[in-house]
Amino acid sequence: MDSEKNTNGMTLEDLTGMVQRGFEAMGVRFDGVEARLIALETRMTSIEERTRGIEVRLDHHEEILIAIRKDISDLRKEGSVTEVSVLDLEARVSRIEGELKLTS
C-alpha cells in the first residue's frame, strides 16, 4: 500500500521524503539565523561596553567643567583675577561644553 500513487502521481514515501528534506532545509536555515543572531549579540555587547566607557569619560569631563566653573566663581569673589580673564575662562568653558554637548 505504501507504493500506491495518489492522483498527483506521488507515493507516501515520496511525500515523506519531501517533508523530511523540507525540515532539513529549515534546520540549516535556522542554524544560519542563529549564527547571525549570536554575532549580532556579540556586536551589541561590544557597543554597550564602548558606550559605557564614553559615558564615564563624559561624566569625568563634566566634573572637571563644574570644578572650573566653581574656580571662576571663587576667583571672581576674591577679586584676584581681572574681569577679562574670567570672561576668557567662561568662554572657553562654554566652548568645551558646546563641543561635549553638556548643559549647565
Domain boundaries, the chain: 12-100
Q: Which tens digit of pLDDT belongs to each residue from 43-88?
A: 999 999 999 988 998 888 888 888 888 877 877 777 766 666 777 7
How far is residue 65 from each of residues 61, 69, 79, measured CA to CA in Å? 6, 6, 21
pTM (2 d.p.):
0.46
pLDDT at res. 3: 58
Q: What is the DSSP string of 11-42?
A: -HHHHHHHHHHHHHHHHHHHHHHHHHHHHHHH
pLDDT in tens, 28-43: 888 888 999 999 999 9
Tell me, what's the pLDDT at 37? Answer: 93
- Grid cell locating 52: 559605557
CB 32 within 8 Å of CB 22:
no
CA atoms within 13 A on the CB side of 16: 6
Sort 69 into a burial class: Cβ within 10 Å, 0-12 / 13-18 / 19+.
middle
